Amino acid sequence: MLERSAMQSRESTSRRPSDNNQFSVCLRYMKCPVSPSELIRKFGGSYARELGIDLSCRDSAEIHKWFLASILFGARISGKTAAKTYVEFARAGVVSSEAIVTAGWNELVRILGHGGYKRYDFKTAEKLLKVSNTLLRDYAGDLNALHSVAADHSDLEHRLKQLGKGIGDVTVNIFLREMRGIWLKAQPLPSAKMVQAAKALGLIDIGLCDGQSILNVLEETAREHGIQLEDFEAALVRYGLASGRKALLQKP
């Protein structure tokens, strides 16, 4: 599930640790190389796929579902709660701009509260209404249309942020990370959390600081191991979040 963390076992020295415990110890002390495919297996890959969202079809409805989920993930709230809240939206059938506007503020607050978003329910309901109304007005509710008129990757990010207050760098990065390869202009650089995790795991050189160079290394690593880049990036983010909570990341 979302944001699963590696836990160091408390096995006695006389007992042989299991494979999972060996992997956990590896992450904790950085004493053995970490396979990207094993990282994905342990922590999970694409967030969109985990939520049952199929971005590969490039369908506007599926893309909007992921945009909604990205807004929820972008708040200062746990990934588990954000995912649960998205499921509540999906269960209620409120996953498009039209449906959000039709539902109205009271219903949005109810859904958000039921998902565990209670600290941010009023604010997030207002944000969702504002973003949905703007998307309907300027792009007929179609994010594919927004992408089509964007001049380049920078303009794409700008247009997404202009949809409403509260759509900032974090939300845009979350959204576009899994749109890479779906949209030509979706070219987000790795987030700070992802870079921190990759360096801690020895997957990129500690001295590498340029975002594009780091992305190039991650892309090459994904190709070498036969894994999808979106799964690799998501696994790094998940590990970084788990490490932050459990203080597992070690300074190189």
What is d(CA 148, CA 215) in angstroms, rounded to the nearest whole number?
24
The alpha carbon dihedral of 233, 235, 238, 240 has a sign of negative
For 1-32, what is each residue's pLDDT tens digit?
A: 443 333 333 333 333 334 444 344 344 434 34
Environment class of residue 4 by beta-carbon count within 10 Å: exposed (0-12), middle (13-18) or buried (19+)? middle
Q: Tell me, what's the pLDDT at 119? A: 76
For 199-220, what is each residue's pLDDT tens digit?
A: 999 999 999 999 999 999 999 9
User: Token pair of 82, please?
Assistant: 């954000």
Contact at 8 Å (CB) between 133 and 165?
Answer: no
What is d(CA 123, CA 38) in angstroms, rounded to the nearest whole number?
39
What is d(CA 127, CA 132) in angstroms, rounded to the nearest whole number?
8
* CB hemisphere CA count around 83 (13 angstroms): 14
Contact at 8 Å (CB) between 61 and 117?
Answer: no
Instruction: For residues 77-86, give the mean pLDDT.
Output: 93
Return the axis-axis angle of helices 229-246 and 169-177, rounded to nearest 10°: 140
Q: Tell me, what's the pLDDT at 179? A: 98
Is the whole model's pTM more than 0.85, yes or no?
A: no
Position with higher pLDDT, 248 vs 46: 46
- Provide φ and ψ at 100, rounded to 5°: -65, -45
Domains in the chain with CATH codes: 49-177 (1.10.340.30), 189-246 (no CATH)
For 35-77, what is each residue's pLDDT tens digit?
A: 899 999 999 999 999 999 999 999 999 999 999 999 999 988 8
Close Cβ partners of 71 (under 8 Å, ≥ 6 residues apart): 124, 127, 128, 131, 166, 167, 171
Q: Tell me, what's the pLDDT at 34? A: 75
